[in-house]
Amino acid sequence: MTARTELRSWVESANGHSEFSLANLPLGIFSRDGGQPRGGVAVGDCIFDLSVACEAGLFEGQAAEAAKAASASSLNAFFDLGAPARQALRQALQNLLAENGERREQLQRMGESLLQPMDRCRMHLPARVGDYTDFYVGIHHANNVGKLFRPDNPLLPNYKYVPIGYHGRASTVDVSGATVRRPNGQTLPAGASEPSFGPSKRLDYELELGIWIGQGNARGESIPIGEAGGHVAGFCLLNDWSARDLQAWEYQPLGPFLSKSFATSVSPWVVMPEALEPFRCAQPARPEGDPQPLPYLYDEKDQQQGALDIELEVLLLTQAMRDKGLPAQRITLSSTRNMYWTVAQMVAHHSVNGCSLQPGDLFGSGTLSGERDDSCGSLLEITQGGKRALELPGGETRTFLEDGDEIILKARCRREGYPPIGFGECRGRILPAAS
Amino acid sequence: MTARTELRSWVESANGHSEFSLANLPLGIFSRDGGQPRGGVAVGDCIFDLSVACEAGLFEGQAAEAAKAASASSLNAFFDLGAPARQALRQALQNLLAENGERREQLQRMGESLLQPMDRCRMHLPARVGDYTDFYVGIHHANNVGKLFRPDNPLLPNYKYVPIGYHGRASTVDVSGATVRRPNGQTLPAGASEPSFGPSKRLDYELELGIWIGQGNARGESIPIGEAGGHVAGFCLLNDWSARDLQAWEYQPLGPFLSKSFATSVSPWVVMPEALEPFRCAQPARPEGDPQPLPYLYDEKDQQQGALDIELEVLLLTQAMRDKGLPAQRITLSSTRNMYWTVAQMVAHHSVNGCSLQPGDLFGSGTLSGERDDSCGSLLEITQGGKRALELPGGETRTFLEDGDEIILKARCRREGYPPIGFGECRGRILPAAS
């Protein structure tokens, strides 16, 4: 695969350690100065404006078709084009932006009209979310949460057979930077026999990988695991904000509802599967001796290369830290290596009953905690259900999130001999509950 | 309110005992001869074509705006206009179609171009479903199902405080008449320690009231219970097809997923809230002595008139019955009086955490079983978990649905002195599982 030296760009900020090098080229929807949202590509500290590029005739053939679809106000139509069109666009972008690209001078003359400064742009949700499904494939999270309720038997009997998931709320998926209002709701205070109503007191984040679905399947048909990867349009970071006290009271017998549906945040850039190819690996989270996946979830290539090696981190910035000029504090360092099921297994499972997936559907992986204390993907785990406070710079502590707290998710792929791939950020700040 | 004699129509089939009299006038999306789907109104055995009516200039003012929105290929934009526009359209339609309507002769001359024969038309999903939420407000269903697992304590402690619900799958909501392919999936056979994979052996229906959401709310804001009714665009029948064996194995800890997401069927006609006004009643399913609803779920008017008195029935037609020319057999007779929570309470609860509802969102009430053996809204209840076979005409029996079985839901409102209101049908036939 493409080594770093082959991928230098005439866009200087895309070289070196940029998370948006030519090896990455994620797509997103941006606007500037209140203009129309439209598709663009992250290149160093700029956004390559696909509308402008299309109008200038920079693309040909399948790449032109893909660029036109991706230049719209959402990426749904682009997602629907599938992998060959996406790959053609990626190749064309690498050619245009390469240090020795043939059209370099023409492009450089176009200046800021083609390459918008990222810090002057506003990012939008990359696609209209049809359905949003949240999985539960982080095995250490399932273990950690299970232990809080069932210390001797934390994993339920179905866990190692079924990629557990549930339907989430699509209307409240929003892009990084959107604030999150603390939800009101019913809770059962400790020792009480009747519920109370008010703002959640146990507001939490969940560190997840987001998966954007590309081409769908017809209702009544399933997607075989060997073809499942071809239905994935790209990846992002996802924060599944969770009100633990609402969840504990409401979730029996039908699962989480209002404890999750108030907000889900995603990072704005859709990282293409092709950018992640060098960071594929065998499933590290399935120990020897665990049951073999059922045939519809088993594919030899997926077993060998279906997992992902992406470093994930969570940072917290409180209002007091902000006031004192302190930087955000890293509170979690984890990895997608903690996924017990691969993305292909999630796609195959979701559709095996004939459920139709559609371009722009969004999956969350479930919370991706590691095995160590500093790799927990939620405050519920870090604080062991609120019993052990997390210490922060400036003398503050946290058990759950307070108003003004901001959670920042980041992700990066690193491998010797390959340029790094970054995901950008998924940020969200907590606002006080509505009165 | 409008007594029967005031509402005779020059469309003769709308008079007498028609379920689509001038007191009803439900909206839907239809097409004919492969043409473009468009909005229409059920009148007797005809569909009043709103596009043709708009072009002919039959509406004025707010009614014209509403008719134009409702004449599109989905009702989402019409739903977004809210109650006053809907009421203006309803009034205008009643004036146009009344026996003594001023423009009767003009309309009659338009003939079939304005009034399409219903049996020549195909119905479509009335709106693009943004999010679909399934509630669990049928208290006798919750009791019946709870008894199968917890004979001494069937209702969970949250039931009488929380209108329990969960997110369903929007992409597989389809209109009456669409076939339903038996889902494949994982099940844990009795006595086994490892799951099997194959077609569901315990396929079931669930009799529900469907609720179409009209105007939405912004994320972070809630809908007060006193205003909740104004956010409801209309009602339909809903069949929440369920694979009980998949459900039993997958549902811990996050609720139903593939056991439900393969299909949900709705009846095509959206019955307006105004048509149901005479059939409002006090909450019959909340016994004296039960806890008072929390303030955000309590509204005096809703307590007095927020419930609905709609008769519901389920019919089953098997392939053998079809072959012998036998009619569909009624297997359930129930009522919306079995709802423990009102529709307004469902809307207020759903949005109390700031979750945004949008025009075209769909709610299911949850299975509406009565207290009697012949009023169970699912085969799970009728057969007590498959233990007691249901006897059918022609000597057949059923515990769960077999391939070729068709389930037909119907609903009707009846009250002395008022014309009846019908919902039409919600039909679905089971196809064999994909191989």
Q: Which domains, and CATH codes, for chain B? A: 4-123 (2.30.30.230), 132-431 (3.90.850.10)
Inter-chain CB proximity B354 and A431 less than 8 Å: no
pLDDT at site A406: 98
pLDDT at site B2: 46
A-chain CB neighbours of B174 within 8 Å are 219
pLDDT at site B36: 97
- The tens digit of pLDDT for each residue in B72-106 reads 999 999 999 999 999 999 999 999 999 999 999 99
Q: How far is A63 from chain B (nearest CA, A)?
A: 29
pLDDT tens string for chain B (435 positions)? 444 455 899 999 999 889 999 999 999 999 999 999 999 999 999 999 999 999 999 999 999 999 999 999 999 999 999 999 999 999 999 999 999 999 999 999 999 999 999 999 999 999 999 999 999 999 999 999 999 878 888 899 999 999 999 999 999 999 999 999 999 999 999 999 999 999 999 999 999 999 999 999 999 999 999 999 999 999 999 999 999 999 999 999 999 999 999 999 999 999 999 999 999 999 888 888 999 999 999 999 999 999 999 999 999 999 999 999 999 999 999 999 999 999 999 999 999 999 999 999 999 999 999 999 899 999 999 999 999 999 999 999 999 999 999 999 999 999 999 999 999 999 999 999 998
Q: How far apart are CA B403 and CA B391, in angstroms?
A: 17
Inter-chain CB proximity A167 and B257 less than 8 Å: yes
pLDDT at site B6: 55
pLDDT at site A2: 46
pLDDT at site A1: 45
Q: Which of A162, A188, A246 sits opposite B186 (nearest CB)?
A: A162
Q: How far is CA B353 from the centre of its chain?
A: 25
Instruction: Quote the Cα angle for A356-A362-A366, to 5°.
Output: 115
| Structure tokens belonging to residue B303 | 């307590």
Residue A215: band (very low, low, confident or very high) from pLDDT cuts 50, 70, 90:
very high
Give the residue from chain A lying closest to B350, CA to CA: A258
A–B: how many Cβ contacts below 8 A? Answer: 198
**Average pLDDT, stretch A246-253?**
95
User: Is residue A231 annotated as part of the catalytic site, yes or no?
Assistant: no
Inter-chain CB proximity A166 and B257 less than 8 Å: yes
Instruction: Quote the Cα angle for A231-B201-A220, to 5°.
Output: 30
At how many degrees (to 10) do helices B83-97 and B61-70 cross? 100
B-chain CB neighbours of A258 within 8 Å are 349-350, 352-353, 355
Q: How far apart are CA A264 and CA B167, in angstroms?
A: 14
Percentage of chain A exceeding pLDDT 70: 99
With a CB cutoff of 8 Å and minimum separation 6, the contacts of A192 are none
**Average pLDDT, stretch A214-230?**
98
pLDDT at site B3: 46
pLDDT at A6 over 70: no
Give the residue from chain B lying closest to A358, CA to CA: B171
**Average pLDDT, stretch A34-49?**
97
| Structure tokens belonging to residue B317 | 């037609």
pLDDT at site A300: 96
- The tens digit of pLDDT for each residue in A84-116 reads 999 999 999 999 999 999 999 999 999 999 999
pLDDT at A158 over 70: yes
Q: Which of A136, A262, A352 sits opposite B254 (nearest CB)?
A: A136
Residue A283: band (very low, low, confident or very high) from pLDDT cuts 50, 70, 90:
confident
**What value does the mean pLDDT of chain A take?**
96
Give the residue from chain A lying closest to B178, CA to CA: A219
Catalytic machinery residues of B? 141
Give the residue from chain A lying closest to B296, CA to CA: A197
Inter-chain CB proximity A185 and B253 less than 8 Å: no
Q: Are B163 and A250 in contact (CB under 8 A)?
A: no
A-chain CB neighbours of B257 within 8 Å are 164-167
Interface test with B, best of A132, A254, A297, A361 (most B CBs within 10 A): A254
pLDDT at site A287: 86
pLDDT at site A325: 97
pLDDT at A269 over 90: yes
B-chain CB neighbours of A222 within 8 Å are 184, 434
Instruction: Quote the Cα angle for A74-A80-A83, to 5°.
Output: 115
